[in-house]
Structure 1
Amino acid sequence: MGDDTNRKEVKGPVDDRGCTDILCFIIFVACFIYMIVLACMGFANGNPLALTSVFDASGKCCGNICDRYPEMEDYKYLFFPVPDKDYLYDYNVCVKDCADQEEDSNMECYGTDDPSLNPNTQTCTDNCPARDPYYYQQQMYFKANGISSDSAKQSSLENTFCTYKTNVLLDRVCFPDAEFFDSLGDYADNVKNSLTSVVDTDALQSYVDSITEGWPIILASVFIAMLCGFVYLLYVRLCVGVIIWCSIIVYHLLIIALAVLCLQKASDYENESPPNTQDADNQKIIAYILFGCLGVSIIILCCLYSKIKLAIGILKTAANYVGDVKSALFVSPVFSLVTAAFWFLWIIGFVYIFSWGDVEKRSGSVFGEVMWADGVEGYIWFYLFMGLWVNAFIQACCQFVLVSCPCIWYFAQPDTDNMHAPVYTSLKRCFRYHLGSLAFGSLLVAIIQMIRIILAYIEQQSKKTGWGDKQPMKCLLKYMQCMAACFERFIKFINKNAYIEIAMQGRNFCSAAKEALRILWNNAGRATIINGIGGIFIFIGEILIAIGCTLICYLILTNVEPYNEYSPFFPCLLIFIISYTIGVLFMSVYGNGIDAIFLCFCHDEENARGRGMEAPEHCPEELRSFFKDKVQPKQDAQAAKLNQVQATNN
């Protein structure tokens, strides 16, 4: 992709750098401030309680959450006199308190003194036929069997509010207690089971006790998972070459074994009486195809030998980097906490903005819905986009630090003792010089993520109108969503490699992305193999860290007192989730190290071409064999540097 002879030689991350993509950072700050302004406007005008508002049969808002019925201020709970689906929407009333007593008692509800306020003559009483659970049982029996109930009793039921024991749901609805359904007998078994079988209280208490007693082991699992990660990287450093070459050999041996088996099967068919020539020929054809695949595989292996060898060297070098720069392991957890804190605050603001408007009763429901004020829908879309942008920006900052550290480590070889705080240096360069470039890259990610959300929204709306069920429309939307997802992965790939170039050369985003693409294009075969092999080892590492940590903690929980007195299931499940999360964060450092070290090596190789492939002084030990001249050992390099200083002084 162009002539490399006139390109500036890259000798490591430059110290003399300036601010990049300042305009994009200014736009980001302005949009961020506007997002905060929208959140403040939401706090002033929104009412999150409106999202859980309930309405009685007359259409009045219980508790006056919608600020239109001051007389309902004290009646904030919705009560269902007849807990049957046919009566839920048309036969309910707002009450001051939910009934929790087992004995008959009056329950104060709105409208009892003025029956004209409601379409039915609704009263609260402690003396009605429906207070007896048998009456509810009878009504449910009649409904289940299609039998008309006594008209007098039915009329009494529809014009009387009768109390029963309830629980408060969402701080808005008086929901029937399980004991009430239990009193109805067999006719309410389905309802009863749906309420009482969801949670096994004894098992839940056992899980809570096991977590309460096992919390020291759960806390220790964080450090055990990190220890497992270091053990895995040591294993990769020592055995990755053996594993890869053994896997390749086993693959070829399996092809040979299958081909020989097919030939043997063909011979058996030929020896039958009479000979089965058709099946024998089929087996021979399969064997010849397998031998052909074997030959092609061997040719490909010969062509890719040096690339596989380089991939092994890169994986070993990245493992050494993580072992030398252990502080990089804390970068991902810290930024993850920042991301979690941002989303927590963002969700609060979103709820307030979303509830900005008037509350109306939802059709076919006792709950209300917010009718947004003018302009609120646009505010919501902008606020959503800014949430995506800020989230992508935080991730970009984290990724920049993770790819900058291995660049600093790589070009500090072989004298890593004089390497000055790579994490601190990377953070300083990130926040002092390159926030604009990171805002640029994160903007691209946020735009494509917003497009995916819009496509999902269009799909949902099209299903409501019936267009979404038509096959052409369905295929078109799925195709567009698939393309958007692929493009998002491509943008993230470009961003990561652009950040590596920014970390090394201090470029702006566009020129860094162009340079990264040039290098990757010139080394496409290498990059493919390294990403493929590296991805496999990263995935295996995440799983092994989680399994290894969980197994160690399980042995402790089942063999050490007092932990062995409780069930280890729930603590182990929680430990697996924690250790897998630690494994993902741990291996993200390793994965970014692989990508950054590969680009550093490509720069080294380009620089070495002008010196007849003489190995650079800072080339890591595992990568020296790819240059003609070996790099001096660390002690020799330090001695040579000392001799040079002495000669200069003399």
Structure 2
Amino acid sequence: FLSTSNEAVYKVFNETACQFSGQTCKPETFNSSNVTKLCPDAQCLFAFYGGETAYHKYLIILQFFNVFMFFWLANFVIALGQVTLAGAFASYYWAFKKPDDLPAFPLFSAFGRALRYHTGSLAFGSLILAIIQVIRVILEYLDHRLKAADNKFAKFLLSCLKCCFWCLEKFIKFLNRNAYIMMAIYGTNFCTSARNAFSLLMRNIIRVAVLDKVTDFLFFLGKLLIVGSVGILAFFFFTQRIKLVQDTAPPLNYYWVPILTVIVGSYLIAHGFFSVYGMCVDTLFLCFLEDLERNDGSAEKPYFMSPDLKKLLKKTNKSQTDA
């Protein structure tokens, strides 16, 4: 007697193996029926259609492998975009005579350099982040499985591990982002770029903290302004309160559904655009810190920063002063 979750297969077994006894193979009622008396060796077992294979045996491992590969590829694509943007913005900063020293196509040039020289470093950096993210997924899976268990120590340990790996993921994302910027500037490998970026940021920790908080606040205001404006416009449009397009908007019973859809879409688009500005700010900031440490304004080591920034910091190049 065989039972399976597949109804079609269940009928096949039911109409063949169970015909001689007139009984139905159901695991819920099998032990209480008289089948065991008629057939002492009969059993009602769950069976895979076609038998259990290695795929069914290691199914959960393969699912985690798919999740791992998804995280790895997604992080690689994000890293490739970050290095490309960092290379384009860095080429602008390190051009001594702007815009004469700029390359013809800075974005395409940076993309070509990233694919030609930094593919392995990008794969390594995204691999580290993917491993941490998969560990977080495993912890969430264990937390879901242990919800029914009344073990406070295990729940406390899982909560601590989840918090630690969340902080570690944020730190690795921050480190990778700055490592990719140093990689785009100097062309060094991932480990060297990460070490140099971390050392540079630690030497200027106060500037980093101030710039990070100010830019986060400004980006938050920008996103709030865009999402709020689009949401208000969508509300007046779908409620037919704009006379110019009153006939265009269809009458809706639940107008909040398209309004919320427009708000979510506008937030995602605004987040994508502001992420480019955020990469620009971080790249120019690291270039600025490198400029201050490498150069002193002399004729041999002139500053590469813009004239407005030199004026703000009261920095001048000696060649310009003498002229």
Normalising by structure 1, we get a TM-score of 0.40
CA distance in 1, matches of 2:145, 2:54: 18
Query: Which residue of 430, 441, 462 maps to 2:146?
Result: 462
Amino acid at match of 1:399: Q
Match of 1:525 among 206, 209, 220: 206
The one-letter code sitting in structure 1 at the alignment partner of 2:113 is R
CA distance in 1, matches of 2:7, 2:132: 42
After TM superposition, the structure 1 = structure 2 runs for residues 264-275 of structure 1, keeping only pairs within 5 Å, are none
Contact 1:405-1:422 at 8 Å conserved across structures: yes
Amino acid at match of 2:306: P
Is 1:580 the counterpart of 2:267? The answer is: yes
Query: Are 2:243 and 1:562 aligned?
Result: no
2:281 is equivalent to residue 601 of structure 1: no
2: distance between equivalents of 1:373 and 1:420? 55
- Residues 172-187 of structure 1: pairs in structure 2 closer than 5 A: none
Residue 535 of structure 1 corresponds to 216
- 1:48-59 superposed matches below 5 A: none
Report the alpha carbon displacement of residue 446 of structure 1 after superposing the two structures with TM: 0.8
Deviations 1:79-126 (A, max 9, x none): xxxxxxxxxxxxxxxxxxxxxxxxxxxxxxxx9x99924379xxxxxx
Aligned to 2:48: 358
Residue aligning to 1:505 = 186
User: Matched residue of 2:62: which SS?
Assistant: helix
How much has 1:608 moved relative to structure 2? 2.2
Structure 1 residue 396 corresponds to structure 2 residue 79: yes
Write out aligned runs for 1:316-355 (5 A).
none
Residue of structure 2 in register with 1:620 after alignment: 306
Is 2:279 the partner of 1:592?
yes
Residues 551 and 411 (structure 1), Cα distance of their counterparts in 2 relative to 1, 3 Å cut: farther
The offset of 1:603, in angstroms, is 1.1
Secondary structure class of the residue paired with 2:295: helix
Distance 2:250 2:174 in 1: 49
* Conserved? CA contact 2:83–2:184, under 8 Å: yes
What is the CA distance between 1:394 and its match in structure 2? 1.4
CA distance in 1, matches of 2:166, 2:173: 11
User: Alpha carbons of 1:436 and 1:561: their partners in 2 closer, same or farther (altered >3 Å)?
Assistant: same
Partner residue, 1:20: none
1:450 to partner: Cα distance: 1.6
Q: Residues 385 and 632 from structure 1, CA distance in 2 versus in 1: closer, same or farther, beyond 3 angstroms? A: same
Aligned to 1:439: 123
| Contact preservation (8 Å) 2:297, 2:316 | no
Q: Map 1:61-72 onto structure 2 (within 5 A).
A: 61-64=6-9, 69=12
| CA shift in 2, pair 1:505/1:493, >3 Å | same
Q: Displacement, 1:525?
A: 0.6
C-alpha distance 435-612 of structure 1, shift in aligned 2 (>3 A): same
Displacement of 1:528: 0.7
> How many residues end up aligned between the 2 structures?
289
Q: Is the Cα contact below 8 Å between 2:226 and 2:266 reproduced in 1? A: yes
Q: Could you tell me which residue of structure 2 aligns to residue 118 of structure 1?
A: 24
Alignment partners' CA distance in 1, 2:113 and 2:300: 32
- Of the three residues 439, 449, 453, the one matched with 2:137 is 453
Alignment of 1:67-466 (within 5 A): 69=12, 116-118=22-24, 358=48, 373-412=56-95, 414-416=97-99, 418-464=102-148, 466=149
How far did 1:462 drift?
3.3
Larger Rg, first or second structure (1 or 2) = 1
SS of residue matched to 1:118:
coil
Q: Matched residues in 1 for 2:170 and 2:5: separation?
A: 50
Say if 1:613 and 1:629, in contact at 8 Å, map to a contact too.
no
The equivalent of 1:477 in structure 2 is 158
Distance in 2, matches of 1:565 and 1:70, equals: 55
Give the letter aligned to residue 586 of structure 1: F
Q: Against the structure 1 CA distance between its residues 631 and 566, is the aligned structure 2 distance closer, same or farther, given a 3 Å change threshold?
A: farther
**8 Å Cα contact 2:297-2:315 kept in structure 1:** no
* TM, length-normalised to structure 2: 0.77
Gap change, CA 1:611 and 1:573, over 3 Å in 2: same
Give percent identity, aligned residues only: 30
Distance 1:504 1:586 in 2: 23
Task: Compute the displacement of 1:503 (Å).
Answer: 0.3
Q: CA deviation at 1:453?
A: 1.8
SS in 1 for 2:48: strand
Q: Which of structures 1 and 2 has the larger relative contact order (alpha carbons within 8 angstroms, sep 6+)? A: 1
- Which residue in 2 is equivalent to 1:629? 316
Q: CA deviation at 1:497?
A: 0.5
Among candidates 571, 577, 600, match of residue 258 of structure 2: 571
The one-letter code matched in structure 1 to 2:305 is C
Amino acid at match of 1:116: G
- Whichever residue aligns with residue 384 of structure 1, its letter is V
